[in-house]
Amino acid sequence: MLVWTKTYRAFLLVCIVATFGIVRTEAQTMSNPVHDLALKSGESTELGDLYWVNSSCKSLLKGTPDVEILDGPSGVTATIKPATILPRISGCAKAVPGGKLVITAKDIEDQGTALLVLRVNYKTQSGDRQRSVTVRLALIP
């Protein structure tokens, strides 16, 4: 009887640990990956679409987002072109106002790599929102 009680306690302990000891994680809804780009002097590239919608796919923006460079190499600029965006990731069927993030390498003198840190500012109906974008650049003259 004593052996059965110890076995039962051990089994019960394993069940409790298995039930409550598992750490569950959920995917974040806002991902912030590091983008890799290679630019020659004078080239531009679109990095991505910018928009802000609610759950019913209605735009919450009061204007085109703006971008500022927090850290990065000289000769590289970031701008946002106003555009109509179709937010497919959000499952929306209609296009909404937004913008396209464009990175431009102007006069690159030395070949190298650099990290570009951007902050995108959204003016929404519920207040100002900010997101950061990190880009690893390979710069070629």
pLDDT at 27: 31
Residue 96 lies in a domain: yes
Amino acid present at 91: G
Q: Output the domain CATH number for residue 63.
A: 2.60.40.60
Rounded to 5 degrees, φ, ψ at 47 are -90, -35
Domains in the chain, number:
1
Low-confidence residues of the chain: pLDDT under 70 = 1-33
**pTM, rounded to two decimals:** 0.72
pLDDT tens for each residue of 15-49: 555 555 443 333 333 445 678 999 999 999 999 99
Range of the domain at 118: 33-140
Closest listed residue to residue 57, CA positions, set 94, 110, 108:
94
**pLDDT, position 88:** 87
Residue 41 maps to a domain: yes
